[in-house]
Amino acid sequence: MNPPPGPGSGSGSFSGPIWHPPIATKWIIVIVLVFLGAVANRIPHQLRFYLIQPVGFFLIALAAMLCYWTGFYAGTFALFFFLLSIWSAEARSPEGFLNASNTVDWVTNSKKWFVEKVLKEQPLAIQEKDVSTSAISD
Amino acid sequence: MDYGTIVAIGLTVFLIYFSLDFDRHYSFGFHNAALHPAARFAAGLALAYVAQTHQLLASVLLVIVFFWIADVNLLADHPL
């Protein structure tokens, strides 16, 4: 899949870049996008947050549409795959101690429960102090 | 509208209908595969490869791959 050589490449005169990548640049971009989508849960939370904001969402969708108009359909779907993976990773990001200040009960005294003494635990906070129940329905 | 378009639209509607039960998840093996980056990378590459030749099929594949990664069970035991 090497790009074809330039018109002057065989006559001894230099034209164009010295080194061509083994595959076309657009496919390298596709592979990088798919790879970033595959490891979306490893991307920092701050960056993912900006990507799924309406502006970031719009810019990525615009780039996908440009790829579609130019006939590069693989780029379009790679961008969609990347965007949906980012959104999915952001939707299932761990909650609780990260952004649950209303539900976390911080441990402030040194008095421990028996199980904490036996297991030699050093609790910092109690996350699941409230239990939601519902009536049995058949 | 050719037959491929009709089949793709019908398949998409079928998949979305069977994905409405969001409480059900994939089996253990499918769920573990969706969490593995190599499996998602392979699915994304297959999607890009198919997209270059058949966009409609790639659209349906995008729906399937996304629901698979998002752990939405497409094959839930949904009562018709």
CA geometry: angle B33, A44, A98, nearest 5 deg:
90
CA distance linking residue B53 with residue A8, whole number of Å: 33
DSSP string computed for A11-32: TT---S-S---SS-HHHHHHHH
DSSP-derived 3-state class of residue A125: strand
Per-residue pLDDT of chain A (138 residues), as tens digits, is 555 555 544 555 556 667 777 778 888 999 999 999 999 888 888 888 888 888 888 898 899 899 999 988 999 999 999 998 888 888 776 655 554 455 667 777 777 888 888 887 777 777 666 666 777 776
Q: Is residue A9 part of a domain?
A: no
Of chain A, the end-to-end C-alpha distance in Å amounts to 62
How far away is chain A from the Cα of B75, in angstroms, using its nearest Cα? 19
Confidence of residue B13 (pLDDT cuts 50, 70, 90): confident
Residue A84 and residue A121 share a domain: no
Containing structural domain, residue A80: 25-91
Residue A110 and residue A77 share a domain: no
Number of domains in chain A: 2
CB B73 within 8 A of CB A95: no
Q: Is residue A14 part of a domain?
A: no
- For chain B, state the CA radius of gyration: 13
CB B58 within 8 A of CB B47: yes
Q: Is residue A82 part of a domain?
A: yes
Of chain B, the end-to-end C-alpha distance in Å amounts to 28
Query: Taking the model in full, what pTM does it have?
Result: 0.62
Indicate yes or no: CB of B62 within 8 angstroms of CB of A34.
no
Confidence of residue B58 (pLDDT cuts 50, 70, 90): confident
Residue A79 and residue A122 share a domain: no
Q: Is residue A42 part of a domain?
A: yes
Residue A85 and residue A30 share a domain: yes
**For chain B, domain boundaries:** 3-69
Confidence of residue B80 (pLDDT cuts 50, 70, 90): very low
Would an 8 Å CB–CB cutoff place B48 in contact with chain A?
yes
Residue A104 and residue A81 share a domain: no
Report the residue of B41, B54, B57, B61 to disrupt the A interface, i.e. the one with the largest count of A CBs within 10 Å: B41
E runs forming strands in chain A: 105-106, 125-126
pLDDT at A36: 92
How far away is chain B from the Cα of A105, in angstroms, using its nearest Cα? 29
Residue A115 and residue A64 share a domain: no
CB B18 within 8 A of CB A43: no
Q: Is residue A84 part of a domain?
A: yes
CB A48 within 8 A of CB A89: yes
CB A102 within 8 A of CB B68: no
Residue A102 and residue A81 share a domain: no
